């Protein structure tokens, strides 16, 4: 009998995220950029907190439009520091700005964030053989290589553990448990 990944049962929001988003391959640059920033916002926090604040963060961060975020000035940063919808950390707010600048340069060089990300895996998702939560890695060689490449562009909050979670979220890596009905066939 198929059963859902146990972590998804912690709340209705987590189940919806698991069932509708997590592990589904995304090649949409806007979604990839937003998720990269949201994963970075999670650093030191739980994903449940990010999911609850995601709608507010999307609004506060101008729908993660990189051309707007790249121009963020001190006045905008101060406004965001008082915005209860987001994670109010100066370093994380500045990281969103810096990531937008890095994104714009990366897109000039690669054509798209999607091309850059998916190029690491020859444009095919990696489907891992995972039977228990204890078997889930927190990072791998791919996440270490991608982290290094993103940091070279100036991206922030893109360490190998964050990038591994990001790759799971955007479907580059399918780490659904083997008996989960959402596991890639």
The token pair at 148 is 């290094």
Which of 7, 21, 47, 61 is labelled catalytic? 47
Considering the candidates 22, 39, 118, 157, report the single residue annotated as catalytic.
39
Catalytic residue check, 118 = no
For residues 74 and 58, the answer to whether their CB atoms sit within 8 Å is no
Is residue 13 part of the annotated active site? The answer reads no
Question: How many other CB atoms are found less than 10 A from the CB of residue 53?
Answer: 18
Q: Which of 17, 22, 61, 118 is catalytic?
A: 17
Q: Give DSSP secondary structure letters for 122-175.
A: TT--EE----SGGG--S--HHHHHHHHHHHHHT-SS--HHHHHHHHHHTTSEE-
173 pairs with which residues across the strands?
Answer: 126
* Residue in 20, 2, 4 with CA at minimum distance from that of residue 171: 20
Rg, the chain, Cα only: 16
Task: Check if the beta carbon of residue 165 is closer than 8 Å to that of residue 39.
Answer: yes
Q: Which residues are catalytic?
A: 17, 39, 47
């Amino acid at each position: 009998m198929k059963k859902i990944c146990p972590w998804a049962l912690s709340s209705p929001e987590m189940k919806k995220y698991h069932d509708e988003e997590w592990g589904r391959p995304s090649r949409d640059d806007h979604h990839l950029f937003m998720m990269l920033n949201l994963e970075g916002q999670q650093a030191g926090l739980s994903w449940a907190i990010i999911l609850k604040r995601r709608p507010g963060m999307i609004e506060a961060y101008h729908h993660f439009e990189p051309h707007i975020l790249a121009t963020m000035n001190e006045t905008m940063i101060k406004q965001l520091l008082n915005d209860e919808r987001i994670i109010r950390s100066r370093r994380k707010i500045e990281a969103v700005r810096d990531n937008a600048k890095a994104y714009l340069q990366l897109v000039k060089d690669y054509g798209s964030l999607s091309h850059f990300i998916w190029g690491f895996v020859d444009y095919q998702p990696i489907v891992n053989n995972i039977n228990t939560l204890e078997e889930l890695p927190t990072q791998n060689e791919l996440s270490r290589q991608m982290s290094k490449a993103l940091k070279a562009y100036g991206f922030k909050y893109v360490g190998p553990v964050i990038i591994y979670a990001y790759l799971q979220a955007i479907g580059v890596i399918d780490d659904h448990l083997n008996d989960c009905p959402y596991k890639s066939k």
